């Protein structure tokens, strides 16, 4: 099960989204993030997408300017984790319509909602793209209906 999932810009190393599935103090989280950003940014292209880090495995993939990165446990499957990242990117892409970094910055809360529909507690909850988006759509619809009703 993933311990955390985050993605960030390469040059500034700024975290755009982070999700922790194990309880840690803020201090520890910041330390891990710093270390991880350094480690992953030091990797050259064409290198293997997996690396050992502390007693965890890091699975990462770069999409344009963003790195997506998962920390998993020793017995977890690296390749399927790589596809978890990809599916999440697909979900964002479909929802925002050709997603770009700005979408995630300005609608960060949506990025979190989509993530919660897809992964919960670090485990895949719903892997069907249709079903995840349907849930989000419904919520959006609900919001519009309410907005209309109260307007």
Positions in the binding site for other proteins (CB under 8 A): 1, 15, 17-18, 23, 30, 46-52, 55, 75, 77-80, 82-84, 86-87, 94-97, 105-110, 112-113, 116, 120-121, 123-131, 133, 135, 137-140, 142-143, 146-147, 150
Which residue blocks in 12-128 are alpha helix, DSSP H?
A: 26-41, 78-96, 101-106, 108-118
Give the phi and the psi of residue 89 in degrees, each rounded to 5. Answer: -60, -40
Least distance in angstroms from the C-beta of 74 to other proteins = 9
Nearest approach in angstroms of CB 41 to other proteins is 15
CB of 29 to other proteins, least distance (A): 10
Q: Which one, 64 or 80, has the nearer CB to other proteins?
A: 80
H-run or E-run covering 70: strand 66-72
């Amino acid at each position: 099960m993933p311990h955390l999932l985050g993605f960030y810009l390469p040059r500034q190393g700024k975290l755009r989204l982070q999700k922790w599935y194990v309880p840690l103090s803020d201090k520890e989280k910041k330390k891990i993030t710093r270390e991880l950003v350094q480690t992953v940014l030091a990797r050259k292209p064409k290198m293997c997408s997996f690396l050992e880090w502390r007693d965890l495995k890091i699975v990462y993939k770069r999409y344009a300017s963003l790195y997506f990165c998962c920390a998993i446990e020793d017995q977890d499957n690296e390749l399927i984790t790589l596809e978890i990242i990809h599916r999440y990117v697909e979900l964002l892409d479909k929802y925002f319509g050709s997603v770009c970094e700005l979408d995630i910055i300005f609608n960060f809360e949506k990025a979190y909602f989509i993530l919660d529909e897809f992964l919960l507690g670090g485990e895949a909850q719903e892997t069907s793209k249709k079903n995840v988006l349907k849930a989000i759509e419904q919520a959006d619809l609900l919001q519009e209906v309410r907005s209309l009703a109260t307007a």
